[in-house]
Structure 1
Amino acid sequence: MITKDTIKQTVYEIYKDAVINFHEDMKHSLENALKNEDNKLAILNIEAILKNIEIAEEKEIPMCQDTGLPVVFVKLGNVEVENLKEGIEEGIMKATKDVPIRPNIVDPITRENTNVNVGNLIPPIDIELIDEDYLEITILPKGFGSENNNKLKMALPAEGIDGIKDFVVETVLSAKGKPCPPTVVGVGVGGTSDMALKLGKKALMGEIGKRNPDPVLAKLEEEIIEEINKSGIGPMGLGGNTTTLDVKILKADTHTAGLPIGVCIQCWANRFSTARLYDNQ
């Protein structure tokens, strides 16, 4: 059995890792963006981001003051698990206190802070059932400077690929510098309204620079990246060649009458961490 205490400790460790350590593909994408910049202010901004990442890892402190809302993705295989929800919540509370991580979770009406990054229906836990012999937990701390600029469109099927492209580009450009670019843009197409946005959030965790295996979606990703970066919004919205580092698209089948499009924007601090647990751990 995978015990609650094991889950708690694992969640603590990956939450800490997510807010402090940056993925290598993200570092490389920022370094490449720096090489491709000729705007002096953009160069300064990217250099400051890279220095910030370096200091966070050296001092083991969160790379951004907005440590986000902890979004949890679970892949549950053929394993016996004890008190999964409690283990996840207790791990988040432990990390909030011990790292420390800024407490961000409040009641939407009274604005009273829970002070533990756990609250009513928070963290959101997405559970996918898999035919494997492990439990996989991922934490994606989602900052709200970017989350506030997400959008959903229940498009008409006739709008097709051009409609998807236009809506994603329009969404990112209308956000301008608010999501702290250079961004990563996750796009969910299909399913239901809530599913499209969830797919968009999952898409953020794809490898930066790696194209979708579906050639149609790969081409669409490339076209959207090009259109967004032609805008000149640039790092932190202050001008430059790189407004987005990548666009990642995931799709699901949908109803014959629908074309849901969910756009989930992520700031330069595209943070997440994953662990797998087995019965014998």
Structure 2
Amino acid sequence: MRELDAKQITENVAQMCKEAAYYLPKDVYEGLKRGRETEVSPVAQNVLDQIIKNAEIARAEDRPYCQDTGMTIVFLEVGQDLHITGGSLEDAVNEGISKGYTEGYLRKSVVAEPLFNRVNTKDNTPGVIYTKIVPGDKLKITVAPKGFGSENKSGVKMLVPADGVEGVKKAVMDIILHASMNPCPPMVVGVGIGGTMDRAALLSKKALTRSIDERNPMPEYAKLEGELLDLINQTGIGPQLGGSTSALAVNIEWGPTHIAGLPVAVTICCHAMRHASRTL
């Protein structure tokens, strides 16, 4: 049984919150540059130039590349042979979020109660924490702050098996077209297929932690990712003011589901595609 001090978790989560806010992942940065090379609209070219320059300044100066530094989603893969000492795992993660957002001067956007009072917690806690028990004695942490300009345009469609592939495409495109330019495109689109309503939504979130250059290992889903990306880029939404670079990637994750169901969830992320991972 390996032991890991909760303080180490707190310190690492704090640092990861800052890294995710300051440093656009390399795959997304390169994706933006590829989009700039293929974009045909002069206005969209100018928008992409500004987005790319903004990411470069943020990295160079350790500053957030978007003012909405998100609600902090944290995925934990906990080895079954690991014992956390000195405090609880969730408390350690939330302390890390608080520390990172305070030290990093990141905007605190979380309210404690969603409907009647909406009082800001003033440290961006609590995070949205998902924990999975895995073999081994390590702890993998993925911090994925999620801005709400794009989150507000995400959605779930409960299909039936007879809807098939074409039904899935229509469900995804209905959500994308309703979102239009509001999620600050170019977008990265996470799609979850299968499970239950909530499981599909979780799968769509997990899809956004995958590199935009990595296709689903199952050929049929990899093909569907490409088809959906083409459809999205044919809409003319473009990088906020029209153009051909509406999305950089569509990432699909899937899971088993009920014989009567075909849940489809779409989580849209703006070009501020924040995430950072570490294994302790």
- TM-score past 0.5 threshold: yes
Once the two structures are superposed, the pairs formed by residues 123-162 of structure 1 within 5 Å of their partners are: 123-162=127-166
2:60 and 2:130 mapped to 1: Cα distance? 32
Q: 1:273 Cα deviation (Å)?
A: 0.5
Q: 2:35 aligns with which of 30, 33, 36?
A: 33
1:37 and 1:21 mapped to 2: Cα distance? 24
For residue 57 of structure 1, what is the aligned residue in structure 2? 59
Q: 1:175 Cα deviation (Å)?
A: 0.6
Amino acid at match of 2:102: K
1:219 and 1:274 mapped to 2: Cα distance? 27
Q: How many equivalent pairs are there? A: 273
Aligned structure 1 segments of 4 or more residues deviating by more than 4 angstroms: none
**SS where residue 112 of structure 1 aligns?**
coil
For residue 99 of structure 1, what is the aligned residue in structure 2? 104
For residue 114 of structure 1, what is the aligned residue in structure 2? 121
Q: 1:111 Cα deviation (Å)?
A: 1.7
For residue 272 of structure 1, what is the aligned residue in structure 2? 275
Q: 1:161 Cα deviation (Å)?
A: 1.0
Which string of whole-angstrom CA distances, capped at 9 and with x for unpartnered residues, describes residues 195-238 of structure 1?
Answer: 100100000111112221111101111110011101111001x1
1:224 and 1:185 mapped to 2: Cα distance? 9
For residue 249 of structure 2, what is the aligned residue in structure 1? 246
For residue 187 of structure 2, what is the aligned residue in structure 1? 183
Which string of whole-angstrom CA distances, capped at 9 and with x for unpartnered residues, describes residues 73-107 of structure 1?
Answer: 00000211132111101111111111011010013
For residue 10 of structure 1, what is the aligned residue in structure 2? 12
**SS where residue 2 of structure 1 aligns?**
strand
For residue 266 of structure 2, what is the aligned residue in structure 1? 263
Gaps of 5+ in 1: none
Once the two structures are superposed, the pairs formed by residues 166-177 of structure 1 within 5 Å of their partners are: 166-177=170-181
Gaps of 5+ in 2: none
For residue 50 of structure 2, what is the aligned residue in structure 1? 48
Q: 1:115 Cα deviation (Å)?
A: 0.4
Q: Alpha carbon RMSD of aligned pairs, Å?
A: 0.8
1:163 and 1:267 mapped to 2: Cα distance? 25
TM-score (norm 1): 0.95
1:101 and 1:2 mapped to 2: Cα distance? 28
Q: 1:129 Cα deviation (Å)?
A: 1.1
Q: 1:140 Cα deviation (Å)?
A: 0.4
Q: 1:166 Cα deviation (Å)?
A: 1.1
**SS where residue 190 of structure 1 aligns?**
strand
**SS where residue 145 of structure 2 aligns?**
strand
